[in-house]
Amino acid sequence: MSKLNQLQGCAITGIGSYVPERVLSNSDLEKLVDTNDEWITTRTGIKERRMAAENEFTSTMAVKASLKALTQAELSPTDLDLIVVATITPDMPFPATACLVQQELGASKAAAFDLEAACSGFIYALEVGRAFISSGVYQNVLIIGAEKLSSIIDWEDRNTCVLFGDGAGAAVLQRRDGARGVLATRLGSDGNKAEILAMPGGGCRQPATVDSVNDRIHFLKMEGKEVYKNAVTAMTAAAKDVMEQSGLSIDDIKCIIPHQANQRIISAIGERLGAKEDQVFVNLQKYGNTSAASVAVALDEALESGKIERGDRILIIAFGAGLTWGATVLEW
């Protein structure tokens, strides 16, 4: 059996997303740090982002996105075999946020675990779910990318606080004989560059102490320029790889859904792939970078906007801390 045939039989039957109500605009940020709308817009393309309420958590946003995806799939939570939550902002270090989602949904027969691949998390979760389905282990899998990044942002650091937002996206994957679904996927990682994007505190290396809190190591730290360069190179290579694996050229792709981190990164990748501007879906001006939720929220909005129809090929590309990256080609 060819690699392509092995990947068949897994269909995405439902997609859903949720973003919190509260909007934080660039001019709101001008009141917090030394920045301005012009800098943020020209360097990133972001105009505003959503902030979760105090009583909203990664799990509660994940549940809202999941209920939409389950409704679209016409599937009851009790039919789920597995729930995977991709996140870097779990409700707590343990138990897994996926278990909190399982409880809230009433998914009584589902296994549940979290997956941590930062902004590449949704593509990693998609490949994990796809593998369980294609191997015949499970029939119905719920994958979620959800983040309350506002809880790990240093609101005194202008280099990072302007970039991120909160939200959640979910997809229902189901066994469907003959479905094309996921055509090809490439995942990658490079731990040599772990330090360029990290939250150093709170794990077993540097547990929380009075000093660690005073040293602000429980916040996200980033070397922006290094991340930028690695993101463009890795996402371009992964995208080319999955197009080659699936025997498709850029003209065969109806819609490219790149990780929504920075308009300049997205444009650079589009250019290297030879994509036309109208092939590339962008919504980062509204939400900023929502990490694991980013491509899931974008896919949901691209579908709702009517940009994607049955049979269209979609290229999803992501990159994040780890470093991690991934690309996947879907037939919708």
What residues are labeled active site?
A: 119, 259, 289
| Antiparallel, parallel or unpaired: β 111-115 and 82-86 | parallel
Residue 323: is the preceding peptide bond cis (ω within 30°)?
Answer: yes
As a whole number of Å, the end-to-end CA separation of the chain is 22
Task: List the x/- string, 130-149, binding to ligand COA by CB under 6 A.
Answer: --------------------
**Residue 299 engages ligand COA in binding (rule: CB under 6 A):** no
| Tokens linked to 44 | 């990133």
Candidates 8, 26, 44, 58; binder of ligand COA (CB under 6 A) is 44
**Using the 8-state DSSP alphabet, how is residue 82 labeled?**
E
**Residue 24 engages ligand COA in binding (rule: CB under 6 A):** no
Task: List the x/- string, 87-126, binding to ligand COA by CB under 6 A.
Answer: --------------------------------x-------
**Beta pairing partners, 18:** 168
Candidates 27, 108, 159, 209; binder of ligand COA (CB under 6 A) is 159
Residue 95: is the preceding peptide bond cis (ω within 30°)?
Answer: yes
DSSP assignments along 172-192, one per residue: EEEE-TT---EEEEEEEE-GG
Candidates 18, 319, 325, 332; binder of ligand COA (CB under 6 A) is 319
Compute the distance between CA of residue 298 and CA of residue 185 in angstroms, rounded to an integer.
18
Helix (H, G, I), strand (E, B) or coil at 320: strand
**Residue 75 engages ligand COA in binding (rule: CB under 6 A):** no
Candidates 24, 149, 227, 256; binder of ligand COA (CB under 6 A) is 227
The footprint of ligand COA on this chain (CB under 6 A) covers a number of residues equal to 20
Compute the distance between CA of residue 329 and CA of residue 332 in angstroms, rounded to an integer.
10
Residue 160 CB, shortest distance to ligand COA, in Å, is 8
Length of the chain: 332
Candidates 13, 87, 185, 289; binder of ligand COA (CB under 6 A) is 289
**Residue 228 engages ligand COA in binding (rule: CB under 6 A):** yes
Instruction: Compare residues 113 and 228 and give the one whose CB is closer to ligand COA.
Output: 228
Match 């009790």 to its residue by tokens: 78
**Residue 287 engages ligand COA in binding (rule: CB under 6 A):** no
CB 316 within 8 A of CB 123: yes
Contacts of 259 (CB under 8 A, 6+ apart): 119, 120, 231, 235, 289, 294, 295, 317, 318, 319, 320
Single out the segment in contact with ligand COA by CB under 6 A; choices: 4-12, 141-149, 178-186, 219-227.
219-227
**Residue 184 engages ligand COA in binding (rule: CB under 6 A):** no
The residues that touch ligand COA, with contacts defined as CB under 6 A, are 35, 39-40, 43-44, 119, 158-159, 162, 222, 224-225, 227-228, 231, 261-262, 289, 319-320
